[in-house]
Amino acid sequence: MKQFINSREKVVTEAIDGLLSTAEGRLGRLDSFPHIKVVVRTDWDKSRVALVSGGGSGHEPSHVGFVGEGMLSAAVCGEIFASPSVDAVLAGILAVTGNPGCLLIVKNYTGDRLNFGLAAERARALGYKVRMVVVGDDVALPDLPQPRGVAGTLFIHKIAGAMAANGAGLDEIAEEAERIASQISSIGMSLDTCTIPGFQKEERIGSGMAELGLGIHGEPGIEQVQFSTAAEAVELVTDRLEPHTNSEPVIALLNNLGGCTPLEMGVLANALIKSRMGKRIKGLIGPASMMTSLDMRGFSVSLYTPNDTDLAALKSSVPIQAWPGFHNTDAVKLISIPEGLRPVRLVSSGNEQVRALISRCCTNLKNCETELNALDAKSGDGDTGSTLATAANAILKKIDDLPLADNSQLFLSISQELSESMGGSSGVLISIFFAAAADVSKEGHNLQKSLIAGLERMKQIGGAQVGDRTLIDALEPALAVLDDGIESAAIAARNGADSTAKITRAKAGRASYVAEKNLAGYNDPGAEAVAILFEKLLSN
């Protein structure tokens, strides 16, 4: 597995220094690399209760990303998925703890509990006031006597951070943290495992499956389930969480485990708000990467019912880039479309000959969907056939509403329909083609002259010409002889389409980004579609 690292041994220290180099002096590290990796606030004056958290690396931005005003005073980092040493934790405590004392916020993993716990004992022996709260918010494994600590820990980082910033005492903060920890519930789901730097990726999750309840160190979850949609995945996750909550409103923390795209996280947020539990969700933290598992392609949901003080703490802003903030969940606000953008609805009219012609054209485009997709896959993203079939279906659905008796109005209607239903640049260009044809037809010109005018406008705006390996290579010669009959147009279109197989340097469209060897011998799919359209009209 290729990764942007220099070496497995230095990946953590180099990542920390990369973050610190852009922290503008607000953060620093103890001069102790590589054995002790501790990041601290440079503006910390030890006059308030210090908050120290940490654990294995690989969960970025946790924990270093949450060091700053209003949250952590220091973060102690271990190697990838490995607890930091006792010495490292003790160094972190001593670096930031003054008379008010220190609270250690620890996720419930054996190594973290032991190392942080022993470091706390040593700090106490040196005269420091230290308390520790252990967070076990993962509800995935109900029979586990020691639930794992996962992303719900961030609720405590934020609320305890706000309390410390406001001058609360150690015991008060620790007791609140313990209360909150007992009420948080979290669970995650992933489509794939994570990739540990320097090691081969474990292929554990089967095709078409998702794993429910896996740990943030890549540990197997409670079960593998059939994956279908984001909405079903969210319903399954919230169904597992609901028994661990009461009937009161909750705040949800939607966490990217590392490998989901922002697009997917948006879909998951929408699914969460619309889920059966959605009515109880009164605020959302995220969606964002907060406590990840390297590149794991999954998400986790954490729920908590805050009191008024907690809610104010969660809503308070902090100058920490990794913290995504609190967002109220509201219904999507709809704003009326500007009047000038509303399409002109033309009055339908009948013409059986024109209706039959349009129907044949659309049916023929639908029937060659697979063929055109396969051809487009040679030089594009394999969707030309599907794009044209979508447009054909849209026009067929509206055919009885079209002004079939008036070419000018018909072309304008087709242009409007294509602009709404046909995706990509091809949809825009063909819409321009018919809109321009409508303008010329309105002046009384015949079909050939109107369509040639549409072609010229499309060339002008799109920037392509004959020889650039586009549909124009077939359409222009076909329209030039259209008045001579469909047979002449079909022959000209076929010759034009076949000529594109010899053009290995495209000058327009997606094919212009493709290497010459991938174009040679294959017709341009747009030109091929034009040729097929005329040939099919000739044959039926």
C-alpha pair distances (Å), 259 with each of 59, 288, 392, 534: 12, 11, 37, 47
Give the phi and the psi of residue 523 in degrees, each rounded to 5.
-65, 150
Most confident range, picked from 155-159, 350-354, 436-440, 454-458: 155-159
Token pair for 529: 């579609």
The closest of 363, 387, 364 to 375, measured between CA atoms, is 387
Residue 170 lies in a domain: no
pLDDT band of 222, cuts 50, 70, 90: confident
Q: Supply the DSSP string of 216-280, one letter for each residue.
A: TTS---SEEEE---HHHHHHHHHHHHGGGS-SS-EEEEEEE-BS--HHHHHHHHHHHHHSTTGGG
Mark whether 356 and 450 lie in a shared domain. yes
Percent residues over pLDDT 90 in the chain: 73
Q: Which tens digit of pLDDT belongs to each residue from 281-298? A: 999 999 999 999 999 999
pLDDT at position 516 = 54
Separation CA 197–CA 82 (nearest Å): 13
Structural domain of residue 264, as residue ranges? 182-195+206-333
Mark whether 280 and 393 lie in a shared domain. no
Q: Which tens digit of pLDDT belongs to each residue from 143-165? A: 767 789 999 999 999 999 999 99
Q: Which tens digit of pLDDT belongs to each residue from 6-55? A: 999 999 999 999 999 999 999 999 999 899 999 999 999 999 999 999 99
Give the phi and the psi of residue 232 in degrees, each rounded to 5.
-70, -35
Mark whether 214 and 84 lie in a shared domain. no
Helix, strand, coil % in the chain, rounded to nearest 5: 45, 15, 40
Average of per-residue pLDDT values in the chain: 91
> Which residues are CB-neighbours of 39 under 8 A, at least 6 positions away?
16, 19, 20, 27, 28, 29, 64, 67, 74, 75, 77
Q: Which tens digit of pLDDT belongs to each residue from 55-110? A: 999 999 999 999 999 999 999 999 999 999 999 999 999 999 999 999 999 999 99
Residue after which a domain boundary falls, among 308, 333, 358: 333
Average pLDDT over residues 436-459: 92
Average pLDDT over residues 440-460: 92
On the question of pLDDT at 452 being above 80, the answer is yes
CATH number for the domain harbouring residue 327: 3.30.1180.20
> Which of the residue ranges 236-240, 255-259, 377-381, 383-387 would you say has the lowest mean pLDDT?
377-381
pLDDT at position 202 = 83
On the question of pLDDT at 537 being above 70, the answer is yes
Mark whether 365 and 512 lie in a shared domain. yes
The closest of 143, 138, 92, 96 to 115, measured between CA atoms, is 92
259-292 core/surface letters (b: 16 or more CB in 10 A; e: else): bbeeebbebbbbbbbebebeebbebbbbbbbbbb
Cis omega before residue 34 (within 30°)?
yes
**What residue type is 89 in one-letter code?**
V
Per the DSSP assignment, residues forming a β-bridge with 75 are 39, 53
The closest of 210, 205, 217 to 291, measured between CA atoms, is 217
CA neighbours closer than 13 Å in the CB half-sphere of residue 311: 13
Separation CA 169–CA 176 (nearest Å): 11
Mark whether 303 and 423 lie in a shared domain. no
211-236 core/surface letters (b: 16 or more CB in 10 A; e: else): bbbbbbbbeebbebbebeebeebbbb
Separation CA 211–CA 207 (nearest Å): 11
Catalytic residues: 217
Residue 152 lies in a domain: no
Mark whether 308 and 399 lie in a shared domain. no
Separation CA 130–CA 102 (nearest Å): 5
Residue 169 lies in a domain: no
pLDDT band of 364, cuts 50, 70, 90: very high
Number of domains the chain is built from: 3
CATH number for the domain harbouring residue 530: 1.25.40.340
Mark whether 316 and 353 lie in a shared domain. no
Per the DSSP assignment, residues forming a β-bridge with 103 are 51, 131
Mark whether 102 and 44 lie in a shared domain. yes
Residue 147 lies in a domain: no
pTM: 0.74
**What residue type is 9 in one-letter code?**
E
Mark whether 240 and 290 lie in a shared domain. yes
pLDDT at position 462 = 87
pLDDT band of 505, cuts 50, 70, 90: low
Mark whether 327 and 357 lie in a shared domain. no
pLDDT band of 423, cuts 50, 70, 90: low
Return the ∠ at Cα 84 (arms to 255 and 322), rounded to 5°. Answer: 30
Mark whether 231 and 103 lie in a shared domain. no
Separation CA 507–CA 493 (nearest Å): 20
Q: Are 83 and 55 in contact (CB under 8 A)?
A: yes
Question: How distant is the alpha carbon of residue 51 from its chain centre?
Answer: 32
Separation CA 286–CA 270 (nearest Å): 12
pLDDT at position 281 = 96
Mark whether 397 and 516 lie in a shared domain. yes
On the question of pLDDT at 513 being above 50, the answer is no
Residue 151 lies in a domain: no
Q: Are 476 and 466 in contact (CB under 8 A)?
A: yes
Radius of gyration (C-alpha) of the chain in whole angstroms = 31
